[in-house]
Amino acid sequence: MASAETNVNLSASPASAAQGLLVSLPPLPQEAFELAVGNLALAFPGEPVLVATPDTSSQSSGSPLRLLSYNPTTVSATPWILTAADYLNAYKIAQDNQATACLVLGAEAQSLSPEAIRALAMSALQSDLTVARYDLGPREGLVNAAILYPVTRALFGTRPRFPLAIDVGLSLKMAGRLAAAAQRFTSAGQNDALLWPLNEAASANCTIAEIPVTPRAFPHPTSSDLNAVLAQVAGSLFADVDAKASYWQRARGTQPQPSIPTSTPVAESPADIASMLDAFRLAYSNLHEIWSLVLPPNSLLGLKKLSVMSPETFRMPDNLWVRIIYDFTLAYRLRTINRGHLMGALTPLYLAWTASHLTLISNGTPPEKHIQDLAAAFEADKPYLVSRWRWPDRFNP
Amino acid sequence: MWQQVELALGQSTHRVLVKLASFLPALVALLLAVIILALIGAALAALLRRTLTAAKFDERLAHNSIAPISDWSPANSPTALISRVVFWGCVLIGCFIGISAFDAAYPGDAQISVYVFPYITHAIGAVLLLIAGTVIARFLERSILIGAVNAKLQYARMLSIGIKWLVLVLTAAMVLDHLQIGGGVVELAFGILFGGIVLTLALAVGLGSRDIVSRSLERSASTLDPIPGDPDYKSPTHTETLRHF
């Protein structure tokens, strides 16, 4: 199992700290670029850090950093998240410049504080994979809370809270591994394919670290259509789970329960969940036949009960959501229905979970506690997925 | 006179029996050809299936191929698709051989194969058209149903069923035309039916459901997240806006 650590030795001497480090910046406007370079200069005072940027016109006045402009060999059309093209470009530059570690920063990188950048860099020089941990509000990062984090933690035994972090630190070995995975997509013209660094690191038994990064501004998805973005992200995760089935089916120890922040939960004003409930009920009446191709009778019964619940008491049990995600993962693998249709049918169920989650936190439950309980439920029900994966025709409760 | 009646009946019966006797071998030859080729096809299909399964053909194709061939394969297995193609190909060859054998065995002057072969190819084309049309109709129905539900359109099911029947009607008309059945009657009926369905949908959506459509569109527009740069875009606050990503 990949080891995970959250304490990073920041006391490395400045002279050796940034030796062989490459920082890869995304395309930024001139003003943001100068701000980013300024933060990097503060993070690495007087250190010969190589900073790569695809903006050939970007110039920074008086910066001590080594700026390298390059023409990316593969271009991503999805700038809000790191894609296969980004990992491939970063590895090529690192390899060409004999870098030993690479820090890949995502969109809005100028909002990162110098302390956070340095912490990520120091960790990248010590661990194979370093991912950022963000401090999000209770109504942010909901897809990560509902699907990405619990599934990655349950199946791959990884602790980091954000499997699809947009700021990652990579050793050259890890960067090469991700580049090899990216090459399979870019050679087929899929430059915007998503990679899952945590899953790759876990299956390769690499060391993983997690660094808190606050504050940070987050980019918005290119498309405002929840259905399309959810299909892209969740579909990519399901495909990765399918590809690494031989790894996660082997028994793994459960993760130690991470400490939950003890701050007093602020009672959130009730979110407007009416539109989400309407969408779920409309989907229940119209998509029930499609859901019945994917979900077993127990889950359909649970959804039926949900469809008649009042908004005030709307609560999707954690085990129901776990079964839904696991069954959709299996249906993705078996191609029970067209994959595009499958992901489209998942969207209303995700909205139902979101409505349930928001109702719960508006009643005083700490959001992080609910998310951790959900992740524990995913871990506890992993044998269900393993059984159905191995015997899809025989085991169908 | 009765003798002539007896003679006529006897001669006609004899003629029919002779024709039947000469027809039966041809029919047996036809059936034998189809059955033997079907058995050969089944054996080939089974052998191919075993070979491809042993070579993990499905897994290799799924791993290396980006083309969604598995989406179109029965039970999502390219191996099953190939084996079924081989089997039905052999059955088809058996039909052609059988018809040629029938032609050769039948002592009549008329060359039946000259008339039957083109019609069989048309029939095969019609069957393929029917299969393709049915698959496309089901696919479109499901795509539109899911898309309309996610767009929160209340008339999603009606829309999807309407589209499905449009495609099925079009397919049926193409199949009948391909089989040269009905001629102008089919074309006219199709035109009337298709135009009627389209007009009905347009009237229902455009006039009868005017309020519903405008409410659905207003609801959809209000739930869309404006992107930065849009005049309606407001910086989100954590108490107002959900961030799914």
Query: Tell me: the pLDDT tens digits for A346-387?
Result: 999 999 999 999 999 988 899 999 999 999 999 999 999 999
Q: Do A348 and B150 touch (CB under 8 A)?
A: yes
Segment 318-337 of chain A within 8 Å of chain B by CB: 334-335, 337
| Residue B52 forms part of a structural domain | yes
Asked whether residue B134 is domain-assigned, the answer is: yes
| Chain B residue with minimum CA distance to A290 | B142
pLDDT at residue A4, rounded to an integer: 44
Q: Which residues of A touch B227 (CB under 8 A)?
A: 220, 224
In sequence order, what are the residues at sequence separation of 6 or more whose Cβ sits closer than 8 angstroms to the Cβ of residue A117? A23, A39, A40, A43, A103, A105
Give the pLDDT of residue B155: 83
Nearest C-alpha neighbor of A135 from the set A218, A52, A22: A218
Query: CA-to-CA distance for B108 and A373, rounded, in angstroms?
Result: 84
Q: What φ, ψ does residue A129 adopt, rounded to 5°?
A: -135, 130
Q: Please tell me whether residues A157 and A29 are part of one structural domain.
A: yes
In this structure, the answer to whether residues B150 and B89 fall within a common structural domain is: no
B94 shares its domain with B166:
no
| pLDDT tens by residue, B121-151 | 788 889 889 999 999 999 999 999 999 999 8
B204 and B147 inside one domain? yes
Contact A139 B154 (CB under 8 A): no
- Are B76 and A268 inside 8 Å of each other by CB? no
Q: Is the pLDDT of residue A181 over 60?
A: yes
Residue B12 is assigned to a structural domain of this protein: no
pLDDT at A139: 87
Whether B145 and B86 share a structural domain: no
8 Å CB contact of B156 and A140 = no
| Reported confidence tier of residue B234, pLDDT bands at 50, 70, 90 | very low
Q: Which chain B residue's Cα is nearest to A275?
A: B223
Q: Who wins on pLDDT, A142 or B106?
A: A142
Q: What integer pLDDT is reported at residue A18 of this predicted model?
A: 66
Q: What is the pLDDT of residue A288?
A: 94
**Domain extent at residue B25:** 19-110
Examine the pLDDT at B95 and tell me if it is beyond 90: no
**Confidence class of residue B81 from pLDDT cuts 50, 70 and 90?**
confident
Residue with tokens 């790759």: A200
Share of chain B above pLDDT 90, in %: 22
Q: Across residues A275-300, what is the average pLDDT? A: 94
| Domain of residue A123, residue span | 4-223
- Residue B60's pLDDT is 74
Residues of A in contact with B143 (CB under 8 A): 340-341
Chain-centre distance for alpha carbon B25: 35
For residues B120 and B66, membership in a common domain is answered with: no
Strands (E), A110-220: 129-134, 167-171, 208-213
Average pLDDT, chain B: 79
What does each C-alpha distance from B36 to A161, B27, B134 come to in angstroms? 64, 14, 31
Nearest to A286 among B157, B228, B241 (CB): B157
Q: CA–CA separation, A224 vs B221, rounded Å?
A: 12
Q: Percentage of chain A with pLDDT > 90?
A: 60
Q: Which residues of B touch A80 (CB under 8 A)?
A: 245
Domain count, chain B: 2
Half-sphere exposure (Cβ direction) of B15: Cα atoms closer than 13 Å: 6
Among candidates B82, B101, B98, B96, which has minimal Cα distance to B44?
B82
- Residue A353 lies inside a defined structural domain of this protein: yes
Chain B contact set for A345 (CB, 8 A): 146
**pLDDT, tens digit, for every residue of A77-110?**
788 889 999 999 999 999 998 999 999 999 999 9
CA dist list (Å): A150 to A25, A139, A384, B238: 29, 17, 15, 23
- The count of structural domains within chain A is 2
Phi and psi at A254, nearest 5°, equal -75, 150
Suggest the residue from A136, A183, A287 to mutate for an interface test with chain B (most B CBs closer than 10 A). Answer: A287
Residue A285 has a pLDDT of 94
Same domain, A291 and A146: no
What spatial distance separates the first Cα and last Cα of chain B, rounded to whole Å? Answer: 101
Based on the fold, state whether residues B143 and B179 are members of the same structural domain. Answer: yes
What pLDDT is recorded for position B153? 86
Q: What is the CA radius of gyration of chain A?
A: 22
The pLDDT value given to residue B237? 43
Average pLDDT of the residues in A331-339: 91
A124-158: b (≥16 Cβ within 10 Å) or e: bbbbbbbbbbbebebbbbbbbbbbbbbbbbbbbbb
Q: How far is A51 from chain B (nearest CA, A)?
A: 28
Residues B86 and B126 in one domain: no
What pLDDT is attached to residue B213? 66
One-letter amino acid of A199: N
List all residues of chain A from 132 to 191 with a beta carbon under 8 Å from chain B.
136-144, 188, 190
As a whole number of angstroms, the distance between CA A231 and CA B187 comes to 42
Same domain, B32 and B117: no
Q: Do A344 and B156 touch (CB under 8 A)?
A: no
Residues A66 and A158 in one domain: yes
Contact A170, A124 (CB under 8 A): yes
**Residues B115 and B28 grouped into a single domain:** no
DSSP states of A117-147: HHHHHHHHHHSSEEEEEE---TTB-HHIIII
**CA distance linking residue A292 with residue A370, whole number of Å:** 28
- Which run of H or of E encompasses A333? helix A318-334
- DSSP 3-state of B103: helix
